[in-house]
Structure 1
């Protein structure tokens, strides 16, 4: 497939690019600073673009089979950035008639796991309070997805870890795995790439965790 990856220099984005290339896909990696993307290969095209430039974003998605986004605010000071950038991506996809989009979000944005215990509810409540601005941004981003015409999937992991790819994790469409507290960034990328061809995840949030 021909894929475009936004946020390609982030922890999840780099893994998406790496794993997509290993699977034989051709990847357009959209970045602000190419020096921050260590992934190279014959199948990757690195495009330096400002995501505030609609024309550049349209050119990056034109003719692609799917778009994957690792975009996200890294600090509370960047509140609203994910929603703003995602709006630009959605407008470009709709203009170019590219249908498939998979984004990374976060577990607290979706519904809690069924039968969640008191400890897990407490932990989730504390984390949600500390990072409330970031999660508010992600909720608004998901609102933009829901209002769009694209075939989107939002992958919602819990706390992220830097761990090797396992390919072994739990997944709940429309919900979240009970007692799911961690997931490696490499496995988040794996789940996102798996969702691209999974029609059961279209216009759904997908909770993922070990």
Structure 2
């Protein structure tokens, strides 16, 4: 499968790219700084560009079977603007133009899925985010809305506490109030879940919460 990855130089994005290549997929990654990926592979194509560059985004998506976004907003309180929201809209537009329908991305349980039942995370996490990371929350809301309001075949994995630890191979997934999903999860396991969604149809047009 040919997969386009955005956010490939981030903590989760690097692992996604590596796992895709290990699984035999063809990968195209758009990045501002290709050197940061520190990875070469005959099945990896790097395109230098920014999310604000419509032509670069379109080039990255052309010929893809699916798009994975490992993009995440800055947690700095000084952060302003909505570059990732705007960039996600550009990605969605390019996917429509190129007739690519499968999108896999990330968010947090601060954002609810319609399948959720009332849960403490719906009350606590948005309040904490607004106080500590107001711009990051705005970005997450905007990024998610850009995808879920489209007709794309999306899966958005909601994560709470990503950790830099070895993969456990254990994943819980589902909807708040329905399924036993915790908070902490290794970045390697998050990446594995994301890659698995290329062939897993359980969560199409859904936002499952995931954890170890």
TM more than 0.5: yes
CA-CA distance at 1:39 after TM superposition: 2.4
Aligned length: 208
Give yes or no for contact 1:175–1:206 (8 Å, CA) kept in 2: no
More helix per residue: 1
Per-residue CA shift, 1:111-136, capped at 9, x if unaligned?
5975856xx77863663332233122
Change (3 A) 1:102 1:174: farther
- TM-score where L is the length of structure 2: 0.88
TM alignment of 1:88-127, pairs within 5 A: 88-110=90-112, 124=125, 127=128
Matched residue, 1:162: 164
Give yes or no for contact 1:110–1:175 (8 Å, CA) kept in 2: no
Matched residue, 1:59: 59
TM alignment of 1:42-191, pairs within 5 A: 42-74=42-74, 75-76=76-77, 77-110=79-112, 124=125, 127-128=128-129, 129-173=131-175, 178=180, 180-191=182-193
**In 2, Cα distance between equivalents of 1:108 and 1:168:** 23
Matched residue, 1:209: 211
- TM-score where L is the length of structure 1: 0.88
Change (3 A) 1:155 1:86: same
What is the Cα-based RMSD across aligned positions, in Å? 2.4
Q: Which runs of 5+ in 1 are unaligned?
A: none
Q: Which runs of 5+ in 2 are unaligned?
A: none
Per-residue CA shift, 1:122-171, capped at 9, x if unaligned?
86366333223312221222111122121111111111111122221200
